[in-house]
Amino acid sequence: MAEPRGERWGWKEGRNRKQVFLLSCAVQDYAWGKQGSDSEVAYLWASGDPTRQIEPNKPYAELWMGTHPKGDALIIDNRVTQKTLGKWIAAHPESLGSKVREVFQDQLPFLFKVLSVRLALSIQAHPDKALAKKLHAQFPQHYPDDNHKPEMAIALTPFRGLCGFRPISEILGFLHDVPEFRALIGQDAAQQLESSAADPCKEVEERRALQRCFTCMMQSSKKECAEQLNFLVQRVTQQVQSGGDVSYCIGDLLLKLHSQFPGDIGCFAIYFLNVVTLQPGEAMYLGANEPHAYLEGDCVECMACSDNTVRAGLTPKFIDVDTLCEMLTYTPAPATAKLFTPTPMSSDPYALLYNPPVPDFTVIKIEVASTVSQYHVPALDSASILLLVRGQASSSGLNGGLSLQPGSVLFISANESLTLSVEPSHNLLLFRACSLL
């Protein structure tokens, strides 16, 4: 008897079907994205489908891999009517895994992305679950769901961002060396921070003083901000032109941000927040209420499936300064503390595990040398999404045989495994998102 149409692709119930299939994923063309072939997003998007053509002047900002309604992935299958991943999971919730189903009410709990950043993203933070519910109830037009949004960025190219408050000693250094910064904050708030820092036993007072300084800056008038920023930019520009050292005020970054967002209060945020540069494979984790901004580069990103962002600078979008200033943790720490270190997986010599302190997502980075002929993708008790970034591979036993290249994206149901034959010309680089409860 002939196999029912679509049986091997997991569309119908059947004990022996493989619930593993290719996805066609959405690209977001936000203005801050890298343009044309400069974008890693564009490269992966076009490489995954030879019929796609990259437009040289178009921004390719984000590749979305998941079920978010603003970019639900399509299942690639010529045998049946095209269906989104979200609808397929709704019809096959067992594909999520028993623990994921129970904890996340039959929903895929993460959104997997690739980002290519040309212009700075906004000074922002993401609410915890309690605040997300409150904001969604009060302002659903700005906060479209009631979920939290922890996220992790893993660099594909050198990647620069702002993350968390600097040590107080560094902020005090800028208050001393950058008079425009001090003028914007105000003498009273600046002196309060200096006094609190003089007594190491007054940690609570120090955090309150830090919150006051940051709030004073963020709530300053547009006129006052533009005036002080113009003073600073003019002075730094003159120093650069005369060959002076402007590292004392992070002058190169200041001028770059001002060129992108003239007069924006976010330009001064570099004196409060750590500037973190990730090399390929390095990561930073951004928990709830952690101030941050992506500045430039390409990364893989994974997050809880939410679209809640509280913004307060470096953006033309809606800003909510009061909420941001109230919600932040105000925990100073050095830039090195913001790096998230992966751990080797004992069960897989080719894999590194990026496992943040939330149940919503985990990312596994897989690097297989070209001298290795096969790689076994192990089964997990979680649905997962696998992205091939570099190299080529194939699977003869998967849906009649598949050829995978950069940009190929696979959905792998819980408790499913597959074996990839590695093409010998290039090393294989893959990222796998899942939820390891």
pLDDT of amino acid 428 = 96
pTM equals 0.92
List of residues 6+ apart from 221 with CB closer than 8 A: none
Structure tokens at 45: 């998007």
Residue indicated by tokens 């330009």: 267
Predicted local confidence at residue 413, as pLDDT: 97
Domain boundaries, the chain: 170-254, 343-434
> Which residues on adjacent β-strands are paired with residue 410?
22, 386
pLDDT at residue 18, rounded to an integer:
60
Report d(CA 141, CA 148) in Å as an integer: 16
**Residues assigned a catalytic role:** 311
Q: Can you tell me the distance from the alpha carbon of 96 to that of 351, in angstroms, rounded to the nearest whole number?
A: 22
Tokens of 277: 């540069």
- 335: helix, strand or coil: helix
Q: Which architecture, in CATH terms, is 343-434?
A: Sandwich (2.60)
pLDDT of residue 76: 86
Amino acid 2: pLDDT: 38
Q: What is the pLDDT along the chain (437 residues), one digit of tens a residue?
A: 333 333 333 433 344 456 899 999 999 999 999 999 999 999 999 998 888 999 999 999 999 999 998 999 999 875 544 689 999 999 999 999 999 999 999 999 999 999 999 999 999 999 988 998 899 888 888 887 878 889 999 999 999 999 999 999 999 999 999 999 999 999 999 999 999 987 777 788 999 999 999 999 999 999 999 999 999 999 999 999 999 999 999 999 999 999 999 999 999 999 999 999 999 999 999 998 999 999 999 999 999 988 788 999 888 888 899 999 999 999 999 999 999 999 999 989 999 999 999 999 999 999 999 899 999 999 999 999 999 999 999 987 655 678 899 999 999 999 999 999 998 888 999 999 999 98
Instruction: Report the sign of the C-alpha dihedral through residues 133, 137, 143, 145, in that order.
Output: positive
| Dist CA 231 CA 226 (whole Å) | 9
Amino acid letter, residue 401: G
For the chain, the distance separating the N- and C-terminal CA atoms, rounded to the nearest angstrom, is 41
Q: What is the pLDDT of residue 397?
A: 64
Strand partners for 127: none
